[in-house]
């Protein structure tokens, strides 16, 4: 089982090239085609009403420049890169809608983590959360800081037996085929509603081992530390290059209501995170 069709969001943010490099490495490893989707809206500095045709032309020109920049990288990586330019729009909600549509035809989506220090309104701040909840596809969120020379060599899985967690583990199997270590972590496994066996995480570990994945079980109690921070600490201690977890939340009209752990990880992640809902 492998990914064959990967989608990466393209924009003009400083961290986009790092995201594309990771997507190309992943596509090469998986033997997948990669589609780059350029989509962004007005920045805060641009008028919301005037000069629309000029901004559409600039939008297309920027897309062409980025395509010409990334195509040689794809050729070097021996990856077939398809390029899509989403129509320009003044509303950032449309950027999310573009990605939701294209995600329906992909195995995996790569997007960037929201960077509050570089936010200019062209990319929705809550885009990653919406994609996880709306697309029905696994979403790999790439931090805006750091370098990621490997992916899936040392993995932490947040396991709590819920449907979202089951889905995330299954979605991540193609990324763990060459893993050196996979730690499956149950946090507060004896809380009401969690369906662990006699040994927390042991059952899902056996399942992963049958896929040839070197998984091991562990469990923790928060003991006054919130689950999000505990999970981030475990990722750091394990020197993990990938965190796998279910995403929890819902939408109220267009308002995104994320669970506390999901929100904490999206805000403070320093390692790529695969989320599924």
Kindly report the CATH number assigned to the domain that includes residue 85: 3.40.50.12370
Phi/psi for 60 (5° steps) reads: -65, -40
pLDDT at residue 90, as a whole number: 76
The CA-based angle 100-92-228, given to 5 degrees, is 70
In-domain check, residue 147: no
115: number of Cβ within 10 Å: 16
Backbone φ, ψ for residue 134 (5° rounding) = -105, -25
Q: Containing domain of residue 271, as a range?
A: 154-276
Provide the pLDDT for residue 128.
94
Structural domain contains residue 114: yes
Residues 118 and 194 in one domain: no
**212, 239: one domain:** yes
Does residue 149 sit within a domain? no
Quote the number of domains for the chain.
2
CB 272 within 8 A of CB 22: yes
> What is residue 48's predicted lDDT score, i.e. its pLDDT?
55
237 contacts 203 by C-beta, under 8 angstroms: no
pLDDT per residue as tens digits for the range 145-157? 999 999 999 999 9
pLDDT, residue 25, reads 97
Same domain assignment for residues 119 and 87 = yes
Residue 159 falls inside a structural domain = yes
Tens of pLDDT along 201-245?
Answer: 889 999 999 999 999 999 888 876 788 999 999 999 999 999 999
Alpha-carbon torsion angle 55, 59, 65, 71, nearest 10: -170
Residue 44 CB-density burial (10 A; 0-12 exposed, 13-18 middle, 19+ buried): exposed
Q: Which of 119, 142, 165 is the last residue of a domain?
A: 142
Cβ atoms of 262 and 126 within 8 Å: the answer is no
Q: Is residue 148 part of a domain?
A: no
- pLDDT at 143 (0 to 100): 97
Same domain, 242 and 161: yes
| CA–CA separation, 160 and 157 (whole Å) | 10
d(CA 231, CA 155): 12
Residue segments in the chain with a per-residue pLDDT below the cut of 50: none
**Domain's final residue, options 142, 170, 201:** 142
Q: Which residue has the tokens 């939340």?
A: 249
Question: Are 13 and 94 contained in the same domain?
Answer: yes
Vertex 179 angle, CA 113 and 155, to 5°: 40
């Amino acid at each position: 089982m492998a990914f064959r069709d990967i989608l990466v969001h393209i924009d003009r943010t400083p961290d986009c090239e790092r995201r594309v490099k990771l997507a190309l490495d992943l596509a090469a490893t998986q033997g997948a085609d990669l589609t780059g989707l350029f989509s962004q809206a007005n920045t805060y500095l641009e008028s919301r009403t005037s000069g629309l045709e000029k901004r559409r032309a600039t939008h297309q020109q920027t897309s062409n420049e980025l395509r010409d920049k990334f195509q040689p990288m794809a050729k070097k990586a021996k990856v077939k890169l398809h390029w899509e330019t989403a129509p320009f729009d003044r509303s950032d909600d449309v950027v999310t809608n573009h990605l939701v549509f294209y995600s329906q035809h992909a195995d995996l989506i790569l997007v960037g983590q929201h960077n509050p220090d570089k936010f200019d309104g062209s990319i929705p701040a809550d885009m990653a959360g919406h994609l996880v909840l709306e697309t029905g596809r696994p979403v790999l969120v790439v931090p805006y800081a750091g370098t990621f020379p490997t992916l899936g060599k040392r993995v932490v899985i947040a396991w709590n037996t819920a449907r979202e967690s089951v889905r995330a583990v299954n979605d991540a199997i193609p990324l763990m085929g060459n893993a050196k270590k996979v730690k499956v972590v149950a946090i507060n496994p004896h809380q009401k509603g969690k369906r662990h066996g006699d040994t927390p995480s042991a059952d899902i570990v056996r399942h992963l081992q049958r896929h040839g994945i070197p998984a091991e079980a562990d469990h923790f109690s928060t003991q006054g530390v919130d689950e999000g921070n505990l999970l981030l600490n475990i990722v750091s201690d394990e020197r993990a290059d990938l965190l796998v977890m279910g995403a929890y939340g819902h939408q109220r009209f267009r308002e995104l209501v994320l669970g506390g752990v999901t929100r904490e990880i999206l805000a403070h992640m320093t390692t790529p995170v695969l989320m599924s809902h």
